[in-house]
Structure 1
Amino acid sequence: MAGCTNKTVHEIFQSMEYGPTASSSSATAQAWLDHHSGCLGLFINGKFVVATNRQTRPLVDSKGVQVCSTVCAVEEDVSLCAASSLNGFKSWSALHSQERAKILLRMVGVLGQNSACLSELCDLCEAPCSPSSVVRLLQYYSSWAQLRDSLLSGWTPLGVVEVVCSSECSLYSLMAKVIPALAMGNSVIIVPEHCTAPAVLLLAQLFMSAGLPAGALNVLTGSDMSLAALVTKNSSISYVAYSGNKQDGVNLCKATAGMGVPVSVSANIGGTCPFIIFETADIDSAVDAVIEAAFKKKKEINWVLLVQENVLNSVMSRLKLRMTGMKSVSLASEAARALVDAAVQEAQQQGATLIRPCEPALSNALYPPTVLCGTAPSSSCVVNPAPGPLLPLMTFRSNTEAVTVGNHSPHGHAASIWTEDLTLAHETSKSLSVGCVWVNSHSVSDPCMPVSGHKDSGTCTDGGHEGLYHYLRLSSTNPLPRSSPVSLDYASFGIAAPTTIFPDDSDPASTPKFYQQFIGGKACKSVSGGSVAVMSADGAKLMGYCPDGGRKDVRNAVEAATKVQSGWMKKNLSARAQSLYTLAKGLEAKKKDFVVCLTRQTGVSAESADNEVELSVARLNDWAALCDKVHGGTLPMPQPGSALSIADPQGVIGIVLPDKSPLLSTVTVLGAAIATGNAVVMVPSQKNPIPTITFIQVLQSSDLPAGLVNIITGSKDQLTVALANHSVIKAIWYWGTAEGCQYLQHTCTSPLKTLICQKDDDGDSEWVRCDLPFLEHKWRCAVQWKTVWIPTA
């Protein structure tokens, strides 16, 4: 092993060394690069385009050798690409689903013939990706392309989808967004990271040879991430899917705020993930796995090793033995070396001890694999890991403590747990706030596994049929209109107090009613004690006063919601459904009061008001019926084992309601949120708040836990700012102004929040619909997906 041929079997098993790797060749990839004269152009309308007077960017490997160069696109290229993509979308989406599936399957054969070139090119560019993993993506999503028209008949493709990746993002992560977007009938513009650009350009060429219509897949390369924002500005773009590190994703969200384009972020690079070893684990297998996972030369995530105290000495002794003779890992630069040195020095100052095979050289971009034993959860090597082969190690005593420490990280991408106790594995998997849990394994991926970014790891679901809905819209709705960003002072947005107009002819003899808001299960005034006037639909009559809620009211409401949400999430589904049925009965019992309320507040006829109340009762009954009907299940993995998909609630959702259909919109979004296990903080329409406030009477007579539903009245902009800046709120559903949408898209990035932003319009069609795809869409907005993988061999 490793160059030695006279070791005994016992010695080999003691050292567990890897054998020598086979020598690799790059002749095929080099020939492809030479065919392009070492300079890869843009891929537009089915062919390579090398425009004159364009800046080029060299791609250099870790040894300083130039592999090739890529062209940097300018605005003229973006316009040409967007026009090509629109034409490509018309051709591609017009094909029958079976035709799209055939082309994707044909790509499997084409890729098989060119797998050596792709593999070698990935190695040359130091962006490793197995061609077989791309083949698996094609096989899986070609089946969904075949079935889209029959199983997803209520949905239609978005149009032109822009897929962006940042540095360190793997080719697999990128193609896991490109291929499902194509399978659903969209055209795609890829803006790849520099290292993955050559492989992406090769794949685009292979797609064309497989029969993909010209323009259905285009590739634009550039000098930095600013190209992605430039592409998004084009009015042809309908959706942006980003994968990579969080900071570049945040910058993209801020740069595109107000453009009217939804941006989903998969921040799957650089986050910390817990690797938990229980006392019931197979220690040898666990240690071997953590060495393999933590000290890769190029990795997307960073691991934190959590070891139960009873087996700490056993784990440490095996780590020392296993790490003996391991070679140093090359770092990206001397600057990365400085960050690693600083992280190690800080950990030692905090009492950590080191396990490593050798001392690091005094000055170079190499560093030995290092375990930092006894680090604190607040240490910078845990919270903000340095870009090097460092593995923090912490201990825990109980399962509860392991989950607490594992959830301490702001990231929620994945976790690996090691135990022979299946009950313990199941309980721990359910409690960890991550998108994927591997039991007695690590880094298992397959396109059938739906994985959502929990906490600060993103707002997107990748994989499974659940991930397909990012690239579809309801067939009965129109595409969201594009808009231009407005000039907005984000620091002063929502500060101005609402302007109240008192009519001169109001009756002084009438005493206006003072309404209350609803926080923690109690009707109450606002913390400020102030009120705002509520006028009738024609503005001629003062109907009453509502509390002028603010930041402190939102803080109290979120605190109450957080306390009760975990218990509500664990509640029996049939009991949760019964609570919603009770809510529907309570609304029906007060039907006459709500009809009068709606006619006075909105000015609609008694017939229309009666219809809205009837629809509201039916909507709550629908949510009650769906409570235990739409959930996850087992997944058809292509390898031995069991994979489970679990629909977790988002947590605490902030909801800013529209002006139209005030009662029906309230119960629609409220039912979707609490049916899936969430708690809510709702802001009624500033123009028509009384129907939502009157609904408090129904909530008070229901058996919903106090604090599950909170209603705060006041200035919509002021309360939107408070919701956006609260770190506990995971998602915000907003109906309001263009300025409000832009503010949320720019602000809700730290931590990342899932946003549903729509401008208020004059139509009620969205709320009066009662078809299953509409309810399913609202349901999917309220959940995030987790996959648990349990191998059997």
Structure 2
Amino acid sequence: EMFADPSPVPSLLHQAWLEHRSRSLGLFIDGEFVCSADGRSCSLADSKGSIVCSTACAEEADISQCASSAVNGFKSWSNLSCNQRAKVLLRLVSVLGQHGQCLSELCELCEASCATAALVRLLQFYSSWAQLRDTLLTDWTPLGVVAVVTSKDCPLYSLLLKVLPALAMGNSVVVVPGQSTAPPVLLLAQLFTGAGLPAGALNVLTGSDITLGVKVAQNHKNVSLLFEDGVMLCKATAGMGVPVAVSPCVGSTCPFIIFESADINSAVDEVMEAAFRKKKEVFWVLCVQESVVDSVVAHLRLRMAKMKCVTLPSEADRERVDAAVQEAQQLGATLVQSCADPTSGAQYPSTVLCGVAPSSPCVLNPCPGPLLPLMTFRSNTEAVTLGNHSPHGQAASIWTEDLTLALETAQRLSVGSVWVNSHSICDPCLPVSGHKDSGTCTDGGQEFLRPSSSSPPLPRSSPVSMDYTQFGTETSPPIIPAESDPARYSHLQFVAGKACKSVSGCSVAVQPPGGSGGLLAYCPDGGRKDVRNAVEAAVKVQPGWMKKSPSARAQSLYSLAKGLEAKRRDIAAAINTQTGLSMDEAEKEVELSITRLSVWAAYCDKVQGGPMPNSGSALSIPEALGVMGVVLPDYNPLLSMVTVLGATIATGNAVIMVPSQKYPLPVLAFIKVLQSSDLPAGLVNVITGSRDQLTVALANHSVIKAIWYWGSAEGCQYLQYTCTSPLKTLRLCEDQEGKDGELDWTRCRPSFLEEMWRSAVQWKSVWIPTA
């Protein structure tokens, strides 16, 4: 209504919209603005301290109303055809053309700038995916209600990189934006609804802090996925049954690597623009090859000579920058500054800290401000080591005229995006993924769908009251088998390519079906030291396995399938003895397992990267996660094991597997197949013992990158709470034998296998500019 009159001066459009709402922005629920239940609000100020507007603070009643609206909105939106949803998203392109100026001004005012052209590109891209969803992604269904929770510094583009694909796939979305991005998000919600988005398909809840996201998870019984920029929600929602996907976080430390073969002029120009821009989303660390460091520093001095001081948000920030610079100087750093340092006020000159060490606080924990640490390296290998030193893995920029060097370095850097002779490029056609502590999800579209045949999601529940320090510490008295008792067979576990006893030398008893009457066998009682040994072996072999060609990995898996076929009678007998299944049923599971390994072998060299830009100047590469821990389910003990094993090693990972504590014998019998295979020693490790104890050992090992867990609700909650530092990718499922779980393993539907494949990789985008 307020946009009907085209007469306002463009520079006042955002003011007109704010005045139209009396500078008091409510919540956006069910397609309209509403006041909060108790009328509470908080003020938003601009960089100069002037009040821009107030935003409502959502309370329990508002969240409950939003929950009902989101469920109804999902029904309306998901019932539309793909073509109808695509038309709505395309209609938004013309709406942005009309009101893009107002949005741009509002973003600039709130320091959440986002180019309208970038949003138009997102809408065009995801409207195409909305059109093609059922054609290209058959047998996949929307998650339902998706919550997108962001920190106060999250850019608007990053937020929409989750909202738009979620909508395109047919979900409804609840957005909990940071305070600075709330006004533009509320404006977009109004524009979306005006373009034809059903009421309730997009709701916006605002509040004074990020704990609002936890309240949304508690009240929205239908929320399927929570996105956020940090790890606070992982701990706060542990045990609720809500999966949390952590996105690449604002404030990551990223390497800017200049090799001696680079165009020094261009590289220095770009590092100046990246490091000293007004609003930075990442902190850059400059890494320069020793042979050209003098030249780089000279160019930096020349370009910084005419730069003015940068205004910081407050004098407190100025004090933090002062302290960081003084500490760096005490550790041997020298300064290159743009101008004289003002003695007072919230201003500071652009500063390069030359000669800092990788362990320097200004590198590991950079503070906001115009600071650029500079480190040197001698060889290409040392450059990669410096680039991977940060716990973050969001992005890197490589500068060299040697394309082979650029691609080799890009491959070895553990980051989600690599820009060659460029920086900060993004496009929705390539995934945005975080490695290490920069995230556990890939922004795109398919993460907002689930296969029809996948494991059921974790049931919604209230968190169990538990002492996390005591989980997995309860043990039953271990048993030391008597050598004079030959009737009871003692099995061995499999670590570093060898069948061996546990480090403790103790064993646990394996009970027959039903758990009553005698003993079947003994298996090793593995623990933390066994996990440590297995990880050490896996770390040594995994990089080499990942570098093998996909066809070579495929041949190894085909060989493993043949080995299983050669021992099918023995393993079927182990399934029959352990689970009580008939021999016919046991042989059927073995046959399915042989087929499943063959399918994974076929996948190795067939599934490649994601979509490519038409220009051919960028690559989308799926990479192995690294070393994975897997706690296997009770049901279908052999078939579930080979399915998970195939998914993990086909994609280049090494794995430590914990067999079912209840039915370990089929997996232990499979060790003979592993021993006769050509898989590298240490690639696959099998450790038996207490499931809870071994879960704790896997969760607390810093090298393990991901954990797939089938087990108790308490175990799921423990992993959600614990696996945040360092951040691990989790795939969790409550082990419920006989409750729809068996269907997932016996059916080999393409969507089910593709979901497992995608869970076992992380994506890397490599951008190579063309002339």
* Normalised-by-shorter TM-score class: over 0.9
The answer for the alignment partner of 2:510 in structure 1 is 534
Indicate which of 745, 753, 768 corresponds to 2:720.
745
1:634 and 1:642 in contact (8 A); partners too: no
The answer for the alignment partner of 1:664 in structure 2 is 639
1:634 and 1:643 in contact (8 A); partners too: no
Inter-partner Cα distance in structure 2 for 1:169 and 1:195: 9
Residue correspondence of structure 1 range 331-410 to structure 2 within 5 A: 331-410=312-391
The answer for the alignment partner of 2:397 in structure 1 is 416
**1:144: how far off?**
0.1
Inter-partner Cα distance in structure 2 for 1:731 and 1:365: 43
Over 3 Å counting, the alpha-carbon distance change for 1:319 and 1:25 in structure 2 is farther
**1:387: how far off?**
1.1
**1:128: how far off?**
1.0
Inter-partner Cα distance in structure 2 for 1:509 and 1:445: 66
Inter-partner Cα distance in structure 1 for 2:10 and 2:310: 22
Inter-partner Cα distance in structure 1 for 2:117 and 2:624: 34
Q: 2:751 is matched by which residue type in structure 1?
A: P
Inter-partner Cα distance in structure 1 for 2:485 and 2:14: 87
Residue correspondence of structure 1 range 628-643 to structure 2 within 5 A: 628-632=605-609, 635-636=612-613, 642-643=617-618
The answer for the alignment partner of 1:233 in structure 2 is 218
**1:451: how far off?**
2.4
Q: 1:439 is matched by which residue type in structure 2?
A: V
Over 3 Å counting, the alpha-carbon distance change for 1:779 and 1:236 in structure 2 is same
Inter-partner Cα distance in structure 1 for 2:460 and 2:65: 19
**1:242: how far off?**
2.6
Inter-partner Cα distance in structure 1 for 2:588 and 2:491: 25
Inter-partner Cα distance in structure 1 for 2:655 and 2:735: 21
Say whether residues 1:449 and 2:430 are aligned partners: yes
The answer for the alignment partner of 2:139 in structure 1 is 154
Indicate which of 430, 437, 440 corresponds to 1:459.
440
**1:224: how far off?**
0.2
The answer for the alignment partner of 1:556 in structure 2 is 533
Residue correspondence of structure 1 range 127-526 to structure 2 within 5 A: 127-244=112-229, 249-462=230-443, 467-477=444-454, 478-498=456-476, 511-526=487-502
Say whether residues 1:603 and 2:588 are aligned partners: no
2:410 and 2:418 in contact (8 A); partners too: yes
RMSD (CA atoms) = 1.6
The answer for the alignment partner of 1:621 in structure 2 is 598
1:455-478 per-position Cα deviation (integer Å, ceiling 9, x unaligned): 11110101xxxx322110112345
| Sequence identity percentage | 68
2:458 and 2:732 in contact (8 A); partners too: no
Q: 2:440 is matched by which residue type in structure 1?
A: T
**1:679: how far off?**
0.1
SS at match of 2:113: coil
Q: 2:447 is matched by which residue type in structure 1?
A: H
Indicate which of 60, 68, 72 corresponds to 2:45.
60
Inter-partner Cα distance in structure 2 for 1:647 and 1:597: 37
Q: 1:628 is matched by which residue type in structure 2?
A: D
2:629 and 2:708 in contact (8 A); partners too: yes
Unaligned runs of 5+ in 2: 1-8
Inter-partner Cα distance in structure 1 for 2:38 and 2:201: 26
SS at match of 2:468: coil
1:88 and 1:213 in contact (8 A); partners too: yes
2:458 and 2:734 in contact (8 A); partners too: no
**1:634: how far off?**
6.1
Inter-partner Cα distance in structure 2 for 1:432 and 1:586: 36
Paired residues, number: 756
The answer for the alignment partner of 2:4 in structure 1 is none
Q: 2:603 is matched by which residue type in structure 1?
A: L
Inter-partner Cα distance in structure 2 for 1:641 and 1:609: 50
Over 3 Å counting, the alpha-carbon distance change for 1:304 and 1:733 in structure 2 is same
Query: After the TM superposition, which parts of structure 1 deviate over 4 Å for at least 4 consecutive aligned residues?
Result: 477-480, 499-502
Over 3 Å counting, the alpha-carbon distance change for 1:418 and 1:501 in structure 2 is closer
1:25-66 per-position Cα deviation (integer Å, ceiling 9, x unaligned): 641000100011011000000000013532211001111100
2:507 and 2:522 in contact (8 A); partners too: yes
Over 3 Å counting, the alpha-carbon distance change for 1:134 and 1:241 in structure 2 is farther
Inter-partner Cα distance in structure 1 for 2:677 and 2:345: 67
1:651 and 1:729 in contact (8 A); partners too: yes
1:586-627 per-position Cα deviation (integer Å, ceiling 9, x unaligned): 100011101110011001111110100000000111111111
SS at match of 2:704: coil
Indicate which of 98, 101, 110 corresponds to 2:95.
110
The answer for the alignment partner of 1:789 in structure 2 is 767
1:303-342 per-position Cα deviation (integer Å, ceiling 9, x unaligned): 0001111111111111001111212222233332222112
Inter-partner Cα distance in structure 1 for 2:476 and 2:539: 29
Unaligned runs of 5+ in 1: 1-23, 503-507
1:653 and 1:730 in contact (8 A); partners too: yes
SS at match of 1:233: helix
Q: 1:513 is matched by which residue type in structure 2?
A: Y
1:26 and 1:124 in contact (8 A); partners too: no
Inter-partner Cα distance in structure 1 for 2:186 and 2:327: 43
2:248 and 2:433 in contact (8 A); partners too: no
Inter-partner Cα distance in structure 2 for 1:641 and 1:123: 33
Q: 1:336 is matched by which residue type in structure 2?
A: D
Over 3 Å counting, the alpha-carbon distance change for 1:765 and 1:633 in structure 2 is closer
**1:301: how far off?**
0.4
1:565 and 1:652 in contact (8 A); partners too: yes
Indicate which of 637, 648, 652 corresponds to 2:627.
652
Inter-partner Cα distance in structure 2 for 1:234 and 1:769: 35
Inter-partner Cα distance in structure 2 for 1:52 and 1:766: 44
Inter-partner Cα distance in structure 2 for 1:170 and 1:538: 56
2:37 and 2:58 in contact (8 A); partners too: no
**1:641: how far off?**
5.8
Q: 2:709 is matched by which residue type in structure 1?
A: Y
**1:501: how far off?**
11
**1:398: how far off?**
1.2
The answer for the alignment partner of 1:771 in structure 2 is 749
Inter-partner Cα distance in structure 1 for 2:485 and 2:247: 59
The answer for the alignment partner of 1:582 in structure 2 is 559
The answer for the alignment partner of 2:711 in structure 1 is 736
Inter-partner Cα distance in structure 1 for 2:686 and 2:478: 21
1:158 and 1:479 in contact (8 A); partners too: no
Q: 2:189 is matched by which residue type in structure 1?
A: A
Inter-partner Cα distance in structure 1 for 2:476 and 2:125: 53
Inter-partner Cα distance in structure 1 for 2:726 and 2:37: 43
SS at match of 1:58: strand
Over 3 Å counting, the alpha-carbon distance change for 1:519 and 1:566 in structure 2 is same
Over 3 Å counting, the alpha-carbon distance change for 1:183 and 1:411 in structure 2 is same
SS at match of 1:196: helix
Q: Which moved more, 1:141-150 or 1:475-484?
A: 475-484
Over 3 Å counting, the alpha-carbon distance change for 1:394 and 1:560 in structure 2 is same
Inter-partner Cα distance in structure 1 for 2:107 and 2:735: 47
Inter-partner Cα distance in structure 1 for 2:307 and 2:213: 40
SS at match of 1:195: helix
Q: Which moved more, 1:91-100 or 1:357-366?
A: 357-366
